[in-house]
Amino acid sequence: MLYHLVFSTKYRRVVIDNNLDKLLKDICLEIQNRYEIHFVEIGTDKDHVHFLVQSVPMNSVISIVTKIKSITAREIFRIKPELKKEMWGASLWTSGYFAMTVGKHGNESQIAKYVNSQGRKNEYERIYRDQLKLFM
């Protein structure tokens, strides 16, 4: 199964910079090694993260989301404890999330480009227009 997931930071706080982006991707590689979750693409913006993940059908979306959210938040706060203060002692992620299945032969490449383009405004706008064409 292939999923497009989006997690927003708590209170939509702008906390994701280049350092946190790299740290998040490194943590996701560790998750990939331990669980049956493959990160095809990870794209970050200042207050949210897009993931294109692949997993076995036995893993439900909620179990995938729970693993990713809990492990990334715990590890990021462990490595960067000052971020916990910046988040007012709250969690890293909001309680909600966006999840959509992605067809292997239909829109996987478009979604991968969209996820990869996060944080790059001009390229994002072009890909977003292309993405909308998929649904028209």
pTM of the model: 0.78
**Separation between Cα atoms, residue 75 and residue 87, nearest integer Å:** 15
Mean pLDDT, the chain, whole residue set: 86
**Separation between Cα atoms, residue 101 and residue 117, nearest integer Å:** 19
**Which domains occur in the chain, in start order?**
2-134 (3.30.70.1290)
Helix, strand, coil percent values for the chain (each to nearest 5): 50, 20, 30
Encoded tokens for 47: 């207050």
pLDDT tens track for 117-132 = 777 665 555 555 555 5
Categorise residue 88: left if φ over 0, alpha if ψ from -120 to 50, beta otherwise: left
The SS3 call for residue 115 is helix
